[in-house]
Chain A
């Protein structure tokens, strides 16, 4: 049986992709802001292998003004789908019908699925499907895509329609769907003339659509049809007569009459709940606060800060458990722990650590022993020691966790025990434990926090809040010549930089598109989240605000970087217009939020196995072999290949506070995938002291700088704001359209990352009284240059604002 092609078409944010996923079982990303679907996607209808459903980008009309409109129009007109499933937002049916009238003119069998009927019913509104069906000559059904109600029935109806048209095709007479006539007599007269003139030049079924487009003087259509000058001159006479009679231009005549038709149709078929008619909806009332001129930004800051607090304070404990417990040595099942000799597990461990410190200090000839604070690196406790204390400490036995409660061995411990049981050599054991598993487990250890943050972001997205962020940003940034369209990719970029760069395609203006591509990856993505979490937990546990600060720095770079770029010749110009429909707030469904979270988390876990694992094995090898390929011990790592390569680059990073071969190796390897930085740090800190991987990393930074926290902050900022991972860079080059622009993007990002990291470290050192040096001066000059680039006089932009009816 021949394949049936069904096009899923409708306005942006009307629920097409939600329905597409429900019908095909796909997991395409669903977002409640415009521009989520840029390219068409196809899937097979569940249980019907012969039916292919094409999810088209959301469009408001079939005019060729935006990329989405071009993609959808090209498909509908040229690829001739067997039927159209037109999704219409029932809560905004009047506006949605504009596209529906155009789709009906294509002569393709159409089923209109009025979505969000659950909300329509809840609002007490009534829609007469029969009247709409009669007026638009199509079938109309009510559905709720989010609740998975009616979607399949609508699809089945569309398949039936397509099939009946297909049967006619077999007989040689393809059935042309009835098309509605929505215009006044004189316009219909002119269209009829055009139809007559273009017969045979266009497919029979779409002749009316072509005729209307010619009436509108659609350049693309006239060009494609290759209408001769003589014929066009003849048609122009009819069009001009009509324009003269109605005293308007052809395009406006068509638009106005379409709206007149829709209005009269709505008067007959839509009954609004009288009680709600003039009453502000709950969304309106929430928006009065959330998008308020003064409250919008503090609310956004509060939301991201709450996310940061969740990730570091409760999330930090979960990360510790995941890294040191579940994936590391092991953990006690809660509520099963008890004291042994008056000590709980933590006290017994601390006592043993003190005994070890006493033995080490006495054997080193010291008279005092001390223990450092893991987070600050400062001495937490210091005590006098003598021979008696040394002898007592030497007898201390490492506490057995199994005595303190029900102990579950961690995966790391099990791997270690397994290797020991097999009698594997120390080198191979180190490769598996410290190299492969050490790196992979570091990345996997952040999964709980990643899930937590993604759940939070998915909730903000699904309830409709994130769409408001772009709206609020547009209001502020338009004054500086930036468009809110540039912030849609930023929101997408919180998940991954790749679709963020691709989302910039929706910006028609090439200058703004390039600028958005350069800036959108500054927002921390899911992979960078691992870096932020690692450093927040290891170095800034008591300063949880450092976590959200990284997001605010990212946003600040996007805003100020945009302002600076807009003042350069290459990017100057009026900002792209931004039309955005704010979705009504609603309580997200559990399955929807989980879907968003799982899609992103799954990718993160897969990367740990496919990218991080081989990279860690490779790193372990280049760290444990010299150029003569001789195996090195942990004490000889300064002769390794990685040491030499890292040292060649380390001098570049000296002004940033982590100019060692380990710092260079971590920073460079992060270009494979950003979370690789966390894994590499664990691997390159093998030679450092420390009971856990985290403690080794802390000691690594202490060895690189007298101000480990400052160096850690600088390292984190550098890795977050230099160019993104290799995949995202490749997409940047592709989307920029030329190598030169690709290099400009990468160069700009490298400059920004380096400049911010250098400023933080150098000015931080200056504030701590380390004196004024060459690099301090360099940092100040770079900062002054950045300030000049942002605040230098530039072209003033007109701020166009419009008030909606009824708005005070």
Chain B
């Protein structure tokens, strides 16, 4: 593998880690209409906590 391969691999790795970190912190993105940001402000961890329809 050459240097550019390592750079691309690192970029993928960073995005991978960022996605996992965000999901771990704020829960799965909300598909049910609730505001995920508002939910996390109130201490919710996943869409189940904020989408109390």
> A residues near B, CB below 8 A?
26-29, 31, 35-39, 41, 43, 419, 422-425, 427-428, 431-432, 436, 492, 495-496, 498-499, 502-503, 525-527, 596, 599-600, 603-604, 606-607, 609-611, 613-614, 617, 673, 727, 730-731, 734
Contacts and interface: CB of A to CB of B under 8 A. Distances in A.
Contacts of B30: 603
A498 B31 contact: yes
A422 B30 CA distance: 37
A527 B32 CA distance: 11
Nearest to A35: B53
A496 B9 CA distance: 34
Nearest to B9: A428
Contacts of A428: 1, 5, 8-9
Contact of B31 (A27, A35, A436, A495): A495
A727 B28 contact: yes
Nearest to B29: A606
A432 B28 contact: no
Given A614-B19, A727-B47, A731-B48, A495 B32 contact: yes
Given A35-B53, A424-B4, 16 more contacts: A29-B34, A422-B8, A423-B2, A432-B8, A499-B52, A499-B53, A596-B33, A604-B31, A606-B29, A610-B28, A611-B28, A611-B29, A613-B16, A613-B19, A617-B16, A727-B48
Interface centre among A36, A498, A613, A730 (most CB of B within 10 A): A498
B14 to A, nearest CB: 11
B23 A603 contact: no
Contacts of A422: 4, 7-8
A607 B29 contact: yes
* 9 A-B pairs closest in CB distance: A29-B33, A603-B31, A606-B29, A496-B32, A39-B52, A499-B53, A499-B32, A422-B4, A496-B31
B43 to A, nearest CB: 13
A29 B29 contact: no
Contacts of B15: 613
A208 B9 CA distance: 70
29 contacts: A26-B38, A29-B33, A29-B51, A43-B38, A422-B4, A424-B8, A428-B1, A428-B8, A432-B8, A496-B47, A498-B31, A499-B34, A502-B48, A502-B52, A596-B33, A603-B30, A603-B47, A607-B31, A609-B19, A610-B22, A611-B23, A611-B28, A613-B19, A614-B20, A614-B23, A617-B12, A727-B27, A727-B47, A727-B48
A495 B20 CA distance: 24
Interface centre among B1, B9, B27, B29 (most CB of A within 10 A): B29
B3 to A, nearest CB: 9
Interface centre among A422, A424, A525, A613 (most CB of B within 10 A): A424
Interface centre among B5, B19, B31 (most CB of A within 10 A): B31
Contacts of B32: 29, 492, 495-496, 498-499, 600, 603
B19 A503 contact: no
Contacts of B33: 27-29, 495-496, 499, 596, 599-600, 603
A527 B31 CA distance: 9
B35 to A, nearest CB: 6
B1 A603 contact: no
A715 to B, nearest CB: 23
A499 B33 CA distance: 9
Contacts of A427: 1, 5
Interface centre among B7, B22, B35 (most CB of A within 10 A): B35
Given A26-B38, A38-B52, A600-B33, A431 B9 contact: yes
Nearest to B15: A613
B46 interface: yes
A503 B34 CA distance: 13
B29 A603 contact: yes
Interface centre among B16, B35, B47, B53 (most CB of A within 10 A): B53
A714 to B, nearest CB: 26
Given A424-B5, A431-B9, A610-B23, A502 B51 contact: yes
Nearest to A612: B19
Nearest to B31: A603
A30 to B, nearest CB: 9
A37 B19 CA distance: 31
Contacts of B5: 424-425, 427-428
A614 B52 contact: no
A227 B17 CA distance: 59
Nearest to B42: A42
Given A526-B31, A607-B31, A610-B28, A734 B48 contact: yes
A546 B1 CA distance: 47
B28 A425 contact: no
Contacts of B12: 431-432, 436, 617
A604 B53 CA distance: 18
Contacts of B34: 28-29, 499
B19 A425 contact: no
B46 to A, nearest CB: 6
A694 to B, nearest CB: 24
Nearest to A497: B32
A86 B12 CA distance: 52
A606 B15 CA distance: 14
A495 B53 CA distance: 12
A35 B22 CA distance: 31
Nearest to A603: B31
A492 B32 CA distance: 9
B5 to A, nearest CB: 4
Contact of A610 (B4, B8, B29): B29
B18 to A, nearest CB: 9
Nearest to A608: B29
Nearest to A673: B28
Nearest to A31: B53
Nearest to A728: B48
Nearest to B53: A499
Contacts of B8: 419, 422, 424, 428, 432
A37 to B, nearest CB: 7
Contacts of A35: 53
A495 B48 CA distance: 14
Contact of A425 (B1, B23, B53): B1
Contacts of A498: 31-32, 47-48, 51
B16 A600 contact: no
Contacts of B28: 607, 610-611, 673, 727
A545 B32 CA distance: 27
Nearest to A29: B33
Contacts of B7: 422
B19 to A, nearest CB: 5
Interface centre among A37, A495, A727 (most CB of B within 10 A): A727
B38 to A, nearest CB: 7
Contacts of A419: 8
Contacts of A599: 33
Contact of A26 (B9, B35, B52): B35
B24 to A, nearest CB: 10
B27 to A, nearest CB: 8
B35 A27 contact: yes
A261 B32 CA distance: 42
B35 A28 contact: yes
B53 A503 contact: yes
A57 to B, nearest CB: 9
Contacts of A727: 27-28, 46-48
Contacts of A527: 31
A431 B16 CA distance: 12
